[in-house]
Structure formats: structure tokens, C-alpha cells
Structure 1
Amino acid sequence: MLKTFKIGGVHPPENKLSAQGEIITLPLPEQVIIPLSQHIGAPAAPTVKKGDTVKVGQLIGQAAGFISANIHSSVSGTVTSVDPVIDASGYPRPAITIKVEGDEWDEKILKEPLSQHPNTFTKEEIIAAINAAGIVGMGGATFPTHVKLSPPPGSTAEVLIINGVECEPYLTADHRLMLEHGKELIAGIELLMKALGVKRTIVGIENNKKDAIEELEKHAKLADGIEICPLKIQYPQGGEKQLIQATTGKFVPSGALPIAVGAVVQNVGTVYAVYEAVMKRKPLFERVVTVTGKSLKEPGNYLCRIGTPLAQLIEAAGGLPEDTGKVIGGGPMMGKALTTTNVSITKGTSGVLLMRQEESSRKENRNCIRCTKCVSVCPMGLEPYHLMLLGEHNKLEALEAEKVMDCIECGSCSYTCPANRPLLDVIRLGKARTGQMIRTRKN
């Protein structure tokens, strides 16, 4: 019997429209806008100014603290501005705009990977390379990877868990990465194992990706301590705590991090970036992005440079369909609707979904009928209908007591609600306000 997490979950239609086509390299844009805040933590401090010329892979933003990440140029050309630009959130954020004038790479980046085995690098060398390359969690969380590889005093990593689940409907970038770069992913896993000092890795992949499971099993046989674990198809299995439950049977306590049960979780996109950073000295300046939608002519997975306009990806996939109702950054469950396609691809951009008008229109919001379906599907064991009620009345202390901060914002509650209640919207806002209250109290 296939493993899965123990509490809640749903199974929306998968709609993996772009799973069969190989990754396509997107042509260079005429201009890139590279945000200095593409990660959790402090924005990077710019190291270039207007008029400077830069190369691909050159450092243009220096990490401004321990929880921060370096930013590198994804193109070669001239810096035209270092000013705030509206990002996907709708707010102005500091960014560097570069006019593309070729594709000249930094001389330190290797065309071919180093021949030495991953085990020959020291822990310090691996973490230093990851830090220098500006690698963050590429599943969407964007937490700086070098921080995750440095557990706090008193905590010890026992197992590395690789997230190849990609349970969000429509998205297939990780699936294609596993199919096309299996050998490199295993090498990246070995590097992370060395950095953490662990002897065991579990790669969790949902069973709708049998070809990826077979591909990684083939390469894992040549390495020590790496187990490929097929999982039952169940959303939101890609959540850290849910994946830890599914693969190890351990429950991460409320308010705790995965390291509390000896686990460190990394996304397959992050693993591939680690491989390139250590073996090719290549910073994180490009990633694979799924561009998809039922009306899109050519849904696919595109390797594109950070800072590429989202509109260029849509154009490459056939252009914006006439019946588009929403453009979503990410998948339909956890992604967020965008007000414009004039935003840049960032390190955390896993997908772009163009939803038809008929699918994206909200249905009439009716009164709660106390059916408790939202409770039964919540993977964190919360009571979403109650959290929404508290959020509507701004009862922040009560929200804290009811563990709103444990909410992973998966949207299972909204998906299953027969009354079409905007549960996630209200809970997300209440969670943000509660988090701010908690931070203010600590300061």
C-alpha cells in the first residue's frame, strides 16, 4: 500500500497538461528586471549601479544578513536602473533592470562539471558554494538553502527528504527535471547528504509520475543511502510536514520546524541548483517554469533566466487565450492571481497558469451550513470554519490560541466547501495579522 500523510487532504483534477514535452530553453529577453528580494529574509544590497556592464552569473546583489541570499545577473548587458519596481505582489520592491546585450558568462562558471565525486568535497566547501550561488528553496518557499543546512545548536539532522511530489495541479516542472536530469539530481543529493552529515535520504514522488520514479531508481542504485519512495496521490503532500509524515511516519509538533524530528526537506529544483553550484560553480540565475492552461496552444516547461518578463513565457506558449479569466503565479490551489503579466520570473516562480473565465469566476458565497467538510480535509487538523469566523472579527489572540500559524495555506478547505466560503482568503489575512502581532510582542 502506498504511503501518504495521516490527516485530511483532497484530490483535485490533476490536469498535468505539460508533462510529456521536454524542457524548452526560452530565448533571451531584451530586458530583465531582477528583484533584490527573491527569498525569505532581508533583501540583498545592490553591488552595481546604473551604467555598469555585467556578465551572466556576476554578483549584483549581496546577501544582507544570515537569512538573505545573493542575487546574480542572468544576462550580460548594461544596468539601466536600480530602483523599486512593481512585483507580483503588486507592491514596489527594489530591483535591478538590465538591458540585454549578449550572453557572455562569468569566466568562473564551468561548461562541464568537475570530475571529482561529490563525497570529495568538505561540508564547509559545499555550504560555502551554495551560499555564494544564492540558492533558495525553489518549491515556492524561497528559504535560503545555506541556512537550512546549518541546524541550530542542539539539533541534529538524521534524514534528508527530497520533495519530488509536485502535488499542485497543472505544474510539471519538477517532473520534467527528474526525468531529464536524474543523474545530476542524485549527485546533488549526495552533496546535500555530505553537507548535513546524514547517511539516509528519502525521495518522495507521487505515483502519478511512474516514469520519474523509474528514472531516479535507476540512478539511485549507484549511490549509497538513497531510497525512492512512491507515494499515494494526495494533495497537499508537497507540504513539508505532510511529506515528513508520509515518508517517515513522524509528526512535526505544532510551531516546530522539521529539524525537530531530525528531518531536512529540499525540493528537487533546489537539489539541481545545488549540483550546478558545487559541480559547475554556477549561481542560481535560471530555472524551469511550467506555463500551462486548458486553452493555451502549447503548454510546456521552459528553462528561463531570472528576471524574464512573464509575458514572454506566455507568448512562447502560444499567447494569451481570449477566454483567460485569471493569470495565476503558481498552481490553482496555492498560487496567487496576478494583476498584470508585466512581472518578472524569480527564483520561486514554479509555474504560470492561465485559467479560463468559466473556471476562474467565484461562485456565490453562501452561509456556512456547519457540514465540517473543511475540518475533515485540513491536513493540519485545524477548524477552518472557526478560524474564518475569528478572522472576520479580527480576534487575533483567539486565532493564535487556535493555532492559525500552523495553517499551511493549502486551500483544501476552500476547495471542498459546498457553500463557496472564501475560507483561505480570510484565514490567510488573519494569519498575517496574527504573525505581525506575535513579532511585535517579541520586539
Structure 2
Amino acid sequence: MHYPSATPRRLHRFHGGLHLPDNKAQSNGRPVERAALPKRLVLPLQQHIGKPAHPVVETGDRVLKGQLVARAQGLISVPIHAPSSGTVVEIGDHTVPHPSGLPAPCIVIETDGREEWADLPAPMSDFAQRDPEALRQRIREAGIVGLGGAAFPTSVKLDPPQPIHTLVINGAECEPYITCDDLLMREQAARIVAGIAILRHLTGAGECLIGIEDNKPEAIQAMTRAVADRGLEGTEVVTIPTLYPSGGEKQLIRILTGREVPSGNIPASIGIVCNNVGTAAAVADAVLEGKPLISRYLTLTGEGVAEPRNLEVLIGTPAADLIAQAGGYREPVARLIMGGPMMGFTLHDDGVPVVKASNCLLAASPAEAPDPGPALPCIRCGQCAAVCPVSLLPQQLYWYARARDLEKTQAYDLFDCIECGCCSHVCPSHIPLVQYYRYAKNESWAQEQEKRKAEQARKRHEARMARLARKEAEKKARLKKKKAALAKKPAGKAKEGAPDPKKAAIEAAMKRAAEKKARLAAEGAAPKNTDQLTDAQRRQIEQADARRRAAAEPESGGKPAEKTVSEE
């Protein structure tokens, strides 16, 4: 059967960019293999943009493959699942893949080799009849994030506020050395296209454009064939020129549609959603099989690796285990990089785990990663501005970032920077420009967070003061009401004929005392404890009795009170 080639389409150019040696032949010459099961899996709770996941297991718990081990916290967050069966042996800080090299909270699972699956959600093979919200919830529960490197929660991206007319699938894989998406498209094209069908139903997009660079002919052919086999109308495989960074989201949209995403906005603002081919495959797994995201394709490459290749690896596998499966290190190794040479970062420890955003481990030789030497002063040559794919002014951003003038960096669209590294690559002064931009972004985020906290504290204080003022006002109102009620009562004596309860109680008590004394007198018994009294004590008793008589005389109408025991 003859399959059509990728659709010829009018393409557009973005500003700047670089033609770089792709160095992809090192790793794309052999089929993808499944990585060996490691003894331990280390799962960072922060593998995505947003809030970290919260553990739902404890040390000592046995877990099954695909079981939820950490739940999402808030909207911008995703859950984490056990990549294999085993026992949770630790929940604590471990070194994670991050430029800082600092530790972060992780769940550590000691695998048992059984690969026992947990009960999975039922497949949604009838997804076309399902409500989009149910599909989004399935994708969220599966822990799917963007697998092109950003790791943004996919369920959030698939719920834009505006209608979507175009779905862009990113198969460009423009960064040198990385070939995992290339191999995924070659070997799993039907799975990717199934995911595309789900994404189109979810977004309601009438058009789908699959962009692939022209240095991947086998992937282009496989994807074209898979689209034709499924009969997806309105879906085109588009071959684009090899130019770095054509795989950037906004750059690919520009190439395929000619439209520019406005500064400070996202593609959804112009009716476009962009997803990576790996993300589409993960969506198919979640919806059609109920499987969570627990593995991904990863490239092992560089002159420092004995046998470069692509592996399907479980999330949480230590980098050292993967290097060992690729034949180990081949000396000398200048740097071990997570990601590619342009946007990746150096790992200081090969014991760090693979996370959802990991697409490559590059063991670079000194020739592949030469030491640039010390940074020299900027000469304002303008080469950085010429290659910037976002049309920024990198030298101005550098000066303001260096001076910590964060307001100016934002005025020069700092957050439009995609950190592609083109400016740093061409800088004759070897200034690590991207590092300055990352620093400025982090400082800006920190300041914004502090402002947000201060604003929340101010609102809480104002709410507290308002609450206290309200309570005080209510208290005063009750007191005023009580005073008004008391003022309405007639002052002075009570109404005539109405007995005074207090006086009545006193009279009753005195009557009982008198009756008791009379009874004792009749029986000839003396009051208790009076035979040993001193003269002073007797006088005190007599004085007390006198006071009682004086108090009782007005109440008895002037009649003399009965004698007390002491008087008798």
C-alpha cells in the first residue's frame, strides 16, 4: 500500500536560531530496549511545574506497580505512581536532578522483582463518546505532564479558557544528541496517533499539525503511515527544516501557522494547543489502557558512553544504572549532562534518578563540552540578539540581571526567554547569559511570592481587626440594650403587695433558727460548743446576735425579736 509523504505546506521563519551539528547518529541506530529493573527507585515528589505531590504511603508499606504513592496538591500538580512493585523503605531528602544539586523530598521503593500490577482504571475505548472533563480527570489521575522537557501538568493545558482550533504535535526534537522522540515515532507511531485522536476530541480542534524536522525521515514516514491507517481527517504530518530551536513551542507554532504568540501569553490565547509526541503516547496509555505515567523513552549518548542507545526506563531509576546498561563510561568524561548540550544541566552525582522530564543523559567528552574559560566583559557585539529566537535583547537583559534591576528585566520581557542557550553559545566573551536569566527569573518569582505572602498577611490582619471591631460593636450594642431595659424598670421599691425574695429567704432562715433554739430550750439542752467559750468569744457572739436583732426589727414591724440562746 502506498502512503502519502508529509504534506507540503507553506512554512514560516522565526527570528534567529542556529544550525548545529545534530550528533544524533550516535544513538539512533539501534532499537529501543527496556532498561533493567533497578534495586531501588527514587521518586522525587517535585517532578513537575507546580506544587509537589504529597505522600499517601508510609515507610514499610508494600506497593504494587501503578499504585498511587503521592497525590496531587492543588490544580497545578500531578500525582506520582509506583513504577514497580516493592516496599517503601524511606521517605526523605535525596539528591534530585536539578541545577542546584540540592536534595529534595523523595519516596524510595525497594523493588521485589515481581512487577505485580495494581488494579487499574477501566479502559475508555469509547473516548469519543466520553465527556471531555472525564478524560481530563483520567489524564490528571495518571500523572501525565509535558514530556518535551517543561513537565507542565497536561490536564491543565488541555482545559484552556478559549476555544481551540488547532492542535500542534511537537516531533521536532531539535536539540543535538537527543533521539528518544525520533525512536518513539518510528516504533510507536500508532500509539502516538491514538493519543492525538484523544487530544483532538478533548480540545475540539478541527486541525492537527504534526511538526517533524527533516533529519528524521524514518519517523516522518512512520507517522504519515499511522495517520493514514487511522484515517484522521484534518491531521497533517509537516516536515520542517532542521534549525535550533524549532522545537520550542512558540517557534514551532510560528513555523507551522505563521502566527505569533503574544508576549506574556500562552498559545491557547490564539486558539492553539501544543503537545509533545511523548505526551500524546502517554495520553493513549492512560485513556485506552488505564496506565499511569511510570516510564518513558530516554537517550543515553555522548563520547563518554561506551554504547550509546535509547532505553525505555522506569521513572526513579538511578542514572548510574542506565550508564552501566549502556556499557559504562568511556574515559575521559568532562561532564554528565541531564538533557542536551544547549538546555541541559550538569549532574554532580550519577546517583540521581530519572524523572518525568528527563529525556537524555549526555556523557560528554572534553571535546564535546570544552571548558569555555573565564567570562570576559561584554563587548556589545550584538551576536546574541541576532540569534535570539524570541527577538529579545540579551545583552540588555544581562546588564539588568547582573545589576539585580528586576523591574527592568521584566520590562525587557525576561519571562519570554525560553532559555534555549543560543545567546550563550555565540557569545565571544563566554558569558553564561542563560544563568543570569535564570537567576533573575528565580529572584523575580521569589519577590512575587514574598509580595503575595505580605498581601495575604495584610488581608488576614485587616480581617482580624474587622472581626474584633465587629465583636466590640456587638458587645457595646448588647450593653446599651441591657441598660435601656434596666432604665425602663420602675426605680425604688417593688410593687406593693409583691414579696421581696431576698427578705423572705432571710425571714425563713431566722424562723428556722428560732424554732431550733426553742426546741433546744424545751429539751433543756445547751447549744453545742458553748461550754468552753472564752469571755471574748461570748462577747463576739452576743454582738452578732445584737446585729441580727437590729436587722430583724424593721422587718417584724418594730416587735422585739426572740431571745437568742446566749441571752437565755
The TM-score range, normalised by the shorter chain, is over 0.9
Once structures 1 and 2 are overlaid, which stretch shifts more, 168-177 or 94-103? 94-103
Superposed, which structure 2 residues align to 1:370-385 within 5 Å?
370-385=380-395
Question: Structure 1 residues 102, 407: closer, same or farther in 2, change over 3 A?
Answer: same
Equivalent positions of 1:211-290 (< 5 A) are 211-221=218-228, 222-290=231-299
Check whether the contact 2:339–2:362 (CA below 8 A) recurs between aligned residues. yes
Partner residue of 1:331 out of 317, 327, 340: 340
**What amino acid maps onto 2:405 in structure 1?**
K
Given candidates 182, 198, 202, the residue that maps to 2:205 is 198
- Give the Å deviation of 1:371: 1.9
TM superposition shift of 1:406? 1.0
Separation in 1, partners of 2:115, 2:269: 44
SS of 1:271 mapped into structure 2: helix
Measured after TM superposition, the shift of residue 415 of structure 1 is: 0.8
Residue 320 of structure 2 corresponds to 311
Q: Which moved more, 1:175-184 or 1:125-134?
A: 125-134
Match of 1:100 in 2: 111
Q: Which residue of 2 aligns with 1:354?
A: 363
Aligned partner letter, 2:226: H
- Give the aligned residue type for 1:398: K
What is the CA–CA distance in structure 2 between the aligned matches of 1:8 and 1:115, rounded to whole Å?
44
1:14 is aligned to 22
Runs of 4+ in 1 over 6 A off after TM superposition: none
The one-letter amino acid paired with 1:218 is: R
Say if 1:262 and 1:208 are closer, same or farther in 2 by CA, change over 3 A. same
Quick one: which amino acid aligns to residue 52 of structure 1? D
Contact 2:139-2:283 within 8 A present in 1 as well: yes
Q: Which residue of 1 aligns with 2:461?
A: none
Aligned mates of 1:92, 1:133 — CA distance in 2? 26
Q: Does 1:398 align with 2:408?
A: yes
CA-CA distance at 1:115 after TM superposition: 9.0
1:45 aligned partner, one-letter code = H
Please report how far the alpha carbon of residue 416 of structure 1 lies from its aligned counterpart in structure 2 after TM superposition. Answer: 1.3
CA shift in 2, pair 1:94/1:295, >3 Å: closer
By how many angstroms is 1:118 displaced?
4.6
Aligned positions of 1:31-46 closer than 5 A:
31-46=40-55
Q: In the alignment, what sits opposite 2:331? A: 322
Alignment correspondent of 2:140: 131
User: Displacement of 1:220 after TM fit?
Assistant: 1.1
Partner of 2:354: 345
2:445 partner SS: helix
Give me the whole-angstrom Cα distance separating, in 1, the residues matched to 2:175 and 2:329: 22
* Helix, strand or coil at the partner of 2:74: coil
Deviates more, 1:117-126 or 1:241-250: 117-126
Structure 1 segment 160-199 matched on structure 2, within 5 A? 160-199=167-206
**Highest CA radius of gyration, 1 or 2?**
2
| Counterpart position of 2:82 | 73
Conserved? CA contact 2:306–2:329, under 8 Å: no
Deviation at 1:66, TM superposition (A): 0.8
Q: Structure 1's 171 and 81: CA in aligned 2 closer, same or farther, altered over 3 A? A: same
Deviation at 1:210, TM superposition (A): 1.3
> Secondary structure of 2:367's partner?
helix
Q: Distance in 1 between matches of 2:236 and 2:272?
A: 15
- Of the structure 1 ranges 198-207 and 355-364, higher mean CA displacement relative to structure 2 is found in 355-364
- Once the two structures are TM-superposed, the CA of residue 361 in structure 1 deviates from its matched residue by 3.2
Instruction: Give 1:423 deviation, angstroms.
Output: 1.5
Task: Give how far 1:107 is off.
Answer: 4.4
Alignment check: 8 A CA contact 1:127 1:146 kept:
yes
Q: Which residue of 2 aligns with 1:86?
A: 95
- Following the alignment from structure 1 to structure 2, what is the Cα–Cα distance between the partners of residues 139 and 216? 18
Residue 106 of structure 1 aligns to a residue in which SS? Answer: coil
Comparing 281-290 and 96-105, the one that deviates more? 96-105
Work out the CA distance in 2 between the residues paired with 1:77 and 1:59: 13
Query: After superposition, what is the alpha-carbon deviation per residue over 1:271-320, rounded to whole angstroms, capped at 9, x for unaligned?
Result: 11000001110000111110100242211110011110110111111112
Cα distance in 2 between the residues matched to 1:254 and 1:438? 19
Rounded to whole Å, the distance in 2 between the matches of 1:282 and 1:114 is 9
SS of corresponding position for 1:245: helix
Query: Which structure ranks higher in relative contact order (CA pairs < 8 Å, sequence separation ≥ 6)?
Result: 1
2:43 aligned with 1:24: no
* Matched residue SS, 1:424: helix
The answer to whether the 8 Å contact 1:4/1:231 transfers is no
- Matched AA of 1:70: P
Q: Kindly, what percent of the aligned residue pairs are identical? A: 40
- Say whether the 8 Å CA contact 2:54–2:72 is kept in structure 1: yes
| Alpha-carbon distance in 2 for matches of 1:378, 1:117 | 45
Please name the residue that 2:68 is paired with: 59
- TM-score, normalised with respect to structure 1: 0.95
Aligned partners of 2:303 and 2:330 also within 8 Å: no
What is the distance in 1 between the residues matched to 2:308 and 2:134?
39
The structural deviation recorded for 1:54 is 0.4
DSSP-derived class of the 1:433 partner: helix
1:413 aligns with 2:418: no
Which residue does the alignment assign to 2:556?
Answer: none
State the SS of the aligned residue for 2:334: strand
Offset of residue 81 of structure 1:
0.9
Q: Distance between the aligned counterparts of 2:337 and 2:387, measured in 1? A: 24
Which among 413, 436, 442 is matched to residue 446 of structure 2?
A: 436
**Match of residue 422 from structure 1:** 432
- Structure 1, 342-351 or 289-298: larger mean CA deviation: 289-298
2:114 and 2:179 map into 1 onto residues whose CA distance is: 28
5+ residue gaps, structure 2: 1-8, 456-568
Number of residue-to-residue matches in the alignment: 439
Contact 1:399 1:434 in 2 (8 A): no
Match of 2:496 in 1: none
Deviations 1:342-390 (A, max 9, x none): 1001111011001112332322333333221110100111111121111
Per the TM alignment, residue 239 of structure 1 is displaced from its structure 2 partner at its CA by 1.1
- Give yes or no for contact 1:310–1:341 (8 Å, CA) kept in 2: yes
So what's the TM-score if we normalise by structure 2? 0.75
1:4–1:232 Cα contact (<8 Å) kept? no
Change over 3 Å in CA distance of 1:115–1:241 after alignment to 2: closer
**Are 1:143 and 2:152 counterparts?**
yes
Instruction: Give the secondary structure class of the aligned counterpart of 2:368.
Output: helix
Name stretches of at least 5 consecutive residues in structure 1 with no aligned partner.
none
What is the CA–CA distance in structure 1 between the aligned matches of 2:428 and 2:409, rounded to whole Å? 24
Q: CA deviation at 1:103?
A: 3.1
Aligned letter for 2:212?
Answer: I
Contact 2:171 2:211 in 1 (8 A): yes
Question: Is the CA contact (8 Å cut-off) linking 2:305 and 2:326 kept in structure 1?
Answer: yes
